[in-house]
Amino acid sequence: MSRQPLARILLLALPAVLLLACSSEPPDTHPDKPVTQRRDAFKAMLRSTEPMNTMLKDRRFDADQFASLAEQLAAKRDAPWKHFGPGSNYPPTKARPAVWEKPAEFERRRSEFITATDRLLAAAAARSEEQARTALAAVQDSCKACHNDFRR
């Protein structure tokens, strides 16, 4: 391969490499990594809610599997909140300062989420697709409301 085509390839690849380097978020530098821990906890909850949503969207409701996923979500639902403590509002967080400036409102949103997941557990236990659909929508609405108020 001659030097000229190689130089062209490198010249064309350089902007992409620079863009990737500039767009990466900063690392979580706190010793306890609260931003990383809460992000991981939320992702773990998504691994329960996404399959439930897909099951209902595809109209392939499996009451046993849905109940298992609802139980998994309930087991994980308390994990992220303890990582929003003082001193955890730093990059790479996507949380808005309102989390720390309005703790009563943030707690209200957390409580609404817990209530919604309790209702999801009850709907899953009833083995009713209609109830499951309504309850999962309420959980998702709870997540969206909190994100609207407290996430960038």
Q: How far is the C-alpha of 113 from the C-alpha of 101, rounded, in Å?
A: 20
Q: What are phi and psi of 95, to 5 degrees?
A: -75, 145
Task: Examine residue 48 and state whether it is found in any structural domain, yes or no.
Answer: yes
Distances (CA, A) of 120 to 19, 90, 112, 149: 42, 33, 12, 23
- Residue 79: alpha-carbon gap to chain centroid: 12
pTM > 0.95: yes or no: no
| Annotated binding-site members for heme c | 143, 146-147
CATH number of domain containing 110: 1.20.120.10
- Cα dihedral sign for 30, 99, 97, 142? positive
Task: Examine residue 44 and state whether it is found in any structural domain, yes or no.
Answer: yes
Q: How far is the C-alpha of 67 from the C-alpha of 48, rounded, in Å?
A: 10
Task: Examine residue 21 and state whether it is found in any structural domain, yes or no.
Answer: no
Task: Examine residue 16 and state whether it is found in any structural domain, yes or no.
Answer: no
Report, as ranges of residue numbers, the positions in the chain whose pLDDT lies below 50.
17-20
| Annotated binding-site members | 143, 146-147
Q: How far is the C-alpha of 19 from the C-alpha of 14, rounded, in Å?
A: 9
Helix axes 34-57, 63-76, angle to 10 degrees: 160
Per-residue pLDDT tens over the stretch 50-91: 999 999 999 999 999 999 999 999 999 999 999 999 999 999
Domain span holding position 44:
30-150
Per-residue pLDDT tens over the stretch 74-83: 999 999 999 9
Task: Examine residue 6 and state whether it is found in any structural domain, yes or no.
Answer: no
Domain count, the chain: 1
Q: Is residue 77 helix, strand or coil? A: coil
